[in-house]
Amino acid sequence: MTDKTFYIETFGCQMNAHDSEKVIGTLVHSGYTQVETPESAGLVVYNTCSIRDKAEQKVFHRLDQFKRATGKGKVFAVIGCVAQQEGERIFEKAPHVSLVAGSASYTRLPEMLVQLEAGARRVTGLSLDTEETFDTPFTRRDNPHRAYITIIEGCDKSCAYCVVPFTRGPERSRTSESVMREATELARAGYTDVQLLGQNVNSYHDPSPAGWDFATLLDRVGRIPGIRRVRFTTSHPRDFVKEIIDAIDENPALCNHVHLPVQSGSSRVLGRMQRLYTRDEYMRRIEWMKGARRNIAITTDIIVGFPGETEEDFQATLDLLDQVEYDSLFSFKYSPRPNTAALAMEDKISEEEKTRRIMIVNEKQRAIQIRRNSGLIGTIEEVMVEGRNEALGQWIGRTSQNRTLNFTRPETDGEPLTGKYVPVRVTRAGPNSLVGECVMSVV
Ligand code: SAM
Ligand code: SF4
Q: What is the pLDDT of residues 315-329, one digit of tens each?
A: 999 999 999 999 999
- Which of 159, 235, 262 is the best mutation target for the ligand 2 pocket, counting ligand atoms within 8 Å of the beta carbon and taking the most? 159
Measured in Å, residue 157 CA sits from the centre of ligand 2 at 6
Helix axes 176-188, 214-222, angle to 10 degrees: 20
pLDDT range class, residue 441, cuts 50, 70, 90: low
Q: 263 CB less than 6 Å from ligand 1?
A: yes
Atom of ligand 1 nearest to the CA of 161: 23
Q: How many CB atoms lie within 10 A of CB 144?
A: 11
Whether residue 249 contacts residue 292, with contact meaning beta carbons closer than 8 Å, is answered with: yes
Which of 42-51, 130-139, 188-197, 265-274 is predicted least confidently? 130-139
Ligand closest to Cα of 166 equals 2
Taking the C-alpha atoms of residue 135 and residue 115, their distance in angstroms, rounded to an integer, is 22
Whether the per-residue pLDDT at 169 is higher than 90: the answer is yes
Nearest CA to ligand 2 atom 5: 157
Which of 1-5, 141-145, 179-183, 295-299 is predicted least confidently? 1-5
Whether residue 124 contacts residue 83, with contact meaning beta carbons closer than 8 Å, is answered with: no
What is the pLDDT averaged over residues 212-233?
98
Measured in Å, residue 24 CA sits from the centre of ligand 2 at 26
User: What's residue 142's pLDDT?
Assistant: 86
Q: 268 CB less than 6 Å from ligand 2?
A: no
pTM for the model stands at 0.95
Residue 426: C-alpha distances to residues 36, 397, 410, 433, 437 (Å): 38, 12, 16, 10, 7
- Which of 14, 157, 163, 330 is the best mutation target for the ligand 2 pocket, counting ligand atoms within 8 Å of the beta carbon and taking the most? 157
Taking the C-alpha atoms of residue 193 and residue 230, their distance in angstroms, rounded to an integer, is 6
Atom of ligand 1 nearest to the CA of 263: 16
Q: 235 CB less than 6 Å from ligand 1?
A: no
Measured in Å, residue 391 CA sits from the centre of ligand 1 at 35
| Omega cis (within 30) before 167 | no
Return phi, psi of residue 213, to 5°.
-95, 180
Q: 334 CB less than 6 Å from ligand 1?
A: yes
User: What's residue 69's pLDDT?
Assistant: 65
Taking the C-alpha atoms of residue 19 and residue 84, their distance in angstroms, rounded to an integer, is 14
What is the pLDDT averaged over residues 131-147?
90
- Which of 51, 285, 337 is the best mutation target for the ligand 1 pocket, counting ligand atoms within 8 Å of the beta carbon and taking the most? 51
Nearest CA to ligand 1 atom 25: 334
Nearest CA to ligand 1 atom 13: 301
Q: What is the average pLDDT value for the chain, to the nearest integer?
A: 95
Q: 162 CB less than 6 Å from ligand 2?
A: yes
pLDDT range class, residue 414, cuts 50, 70, 90: low
- Count of CA atoms in the C-beta half-sphere (13 A) of 351: 1
Nearest to 45 by CA among 122, 116, 99: 99
Nearest CA to ligand 1 atom 16: 301
Q: 124 CB less than 6 Å from ligand 1?
A: no
Q: 261 CB less than 6 Å from ligand 1?
A: yes
Q: How many CB atoms lie within 10 A of CB 191?
A: 22
Sequence letter at residue 315: Q
Ligand closest to Cα of 276 equals 2
Atom of ligand 2 nearest to the CA of 156: 3
User: What's residue 440's pLDDT?
Assistant: 72
User: What's residue 55's pLDDT?
Assistant: 87
pLDDT tens string 183-220: 999 999 999 999 999 999 999 999 999 999 999 999 99
Whether the per-residue pLDDT at 432 is higher than 90: the answer is yes
Whether the per-residue pLDDT at 376 is higher than 60: the answer is yes
Q: 51 CB less than 6 Å from ligand 1?
A: yes
Measured in Å, residue 301 CA sits from the centre of ligand 1 at 7
Whether the per-residue pLDDT at 442 is higher than 60: the answer is no
- Which of 162, 167, 282 is the best mutation target for the ligand 1 pocket, counting ligand atoms within 8 Å of the beta carbon and taking the most? 162
Percent of the chain with pLDDT over 90: 90
